[in-house]
Amino acid sequence: MSEDDGDLIPVVLVKQYIFCPRIVYFSEVLGLKERETELMYEGRDMQWAEDRRDRRRKRVPGTGLEARGAKHGVLYVSRRLGLAGVVDLVVDEGGVAVVERKAAKRPKRVHRNHLYQLAAYALLVEEATGKPVMRAYIHYLKSGDIVEVTLTDEAKRHVLWIVRQIKSIIWEERLPPYSEKPACKSCGYRWICRQL
């Protein structure tokens, strides 16, 4: 992205907004960085290793999709959507599919923030390719599961609503109200959140 792309919202921020809107304020208004944990380092290593394996594979595991010709880690940017993001894997074979990797075990239910992260990637890829994204998957690296996710038009519209909420937090420098939630236990901004 260039300097002119300062108004674009990274897709990871959409994911974080759903985790907790206060994180948008801490990272984008105060410019604070999340406290990194051993798990995060381990997760990054797993993603790199999987990316190398993906580039050698003939098929994307668990999907039946042909891997040759797939795009790995490509940055998609859309001024119209106000979004930008790097998609782990895009396959264009009899319909476009996107794959997102998570360095985690498969949960009982796909997390909401991951679902909307995929919906945001789908919007970007649809605009870039001019084709609808027909399938979306999350690859849980720690358990080896690949789960297909249904992306509705409503989910995609909700992404655009979230983008507007994120921009308003940033432009108005507005700290969303605090509310204790289970996510607080694993939040990398807990140290600052409790002070404000």
Least separation in angstroms between CB 155 and ligand SF4: 22
Q: Check binding of 191 to ligand SF4 (CB under 6 A).
A: no
143 in Cβ contact with 106 (< 8 Å) = yes
Stretch that binds ligand SF4, among 17-25, 43-51, 136-144, 158-166 (CB under 6 A): 17-25
Given 14, 18, 22, 101, the residue binding ligand SF4 (CB under 6 A): 22
Tokens of 44: 């990054």
Given 8, 18, 20, 83, the residue binding ligand SF4 (CB under 6 A): 20
Q: Check binding of 189 to ligand SF4 (CB under 6 A).
A: yes
Least separation in angstroms between CB 93 and ligand SF4: 39
Burial class (CB in 10 A: 0-12, 13-18, 19+), 196: exposed
Q: Which is nearer to ligand SF4, 5 or 172 (CB)?
A: 172
Long-range contacts of 86-89 (CB under 8 A, 24+ apart): 87/121, 87/124, 87/125, 88/47, 88/51, 88/139, 89/54, 89/60
Total binding residues toward ligand SF4, as defined by CB under 6 A: 11
Q: Check binding of 87 to ligand SF4 (CB under 6 A).
A: no
Residues lying near ligand SF4 in the complex (CB under 6 A):
20, 22-23, 178, 181, 183-184, 187, 189-190, 193
